[in-house]
Amino acid sequence: MEPETMKMLAAGIAGGLGMLGPGIGLGLIGFGAMQALGRNPEARGPILTNMILIGALAEAIGIYALIVAILLGLVV
């Protein structure tokens, strides 16, 4: 295969696998928060605050994977 093809394949795999983890993590965060709210609706404030904080950290990991994929696509 040509080097350009391999470069794009590597960028696609790095981006796809790198964003798979944060996607699953965000789903689990939402699932856990909804279960916690169902069990204890009075604790809505702290639960949502922690959910948003952890969601932002998971999104940051996805953004790092996107940056790595873009850099792999731009390398000679």
Range of the structural domain that residue 43 is part of:
3-74
Radius of gyration of the chain (CA): 18
Q: pLDDT at position 52, please? A: 96
Q: Using an 8 Å Cβ cutoff, are 55 and 23 in contact?
A: no
Q: Using an 8 Å Cβ cutoff, are 51 and 33 in contact?
A: yes
Collapsing DSSP to helix, strand or coil, 75 comes out as: coil
Tokens 């994977």 locate to: 65
Question: How many domains would you assign to the chain?
Answer: 1
Q: Has residue 76 got a pLDDT over 80?
A: no
Report the CATH number at residue 35. Answer: 1.20.20.10
**Model-level pTM greater than 0.85?**
no
| pLDDT tens digits, 22-63 | 999 999 999 999 999 999 999 999 999 999 999 999 999 999
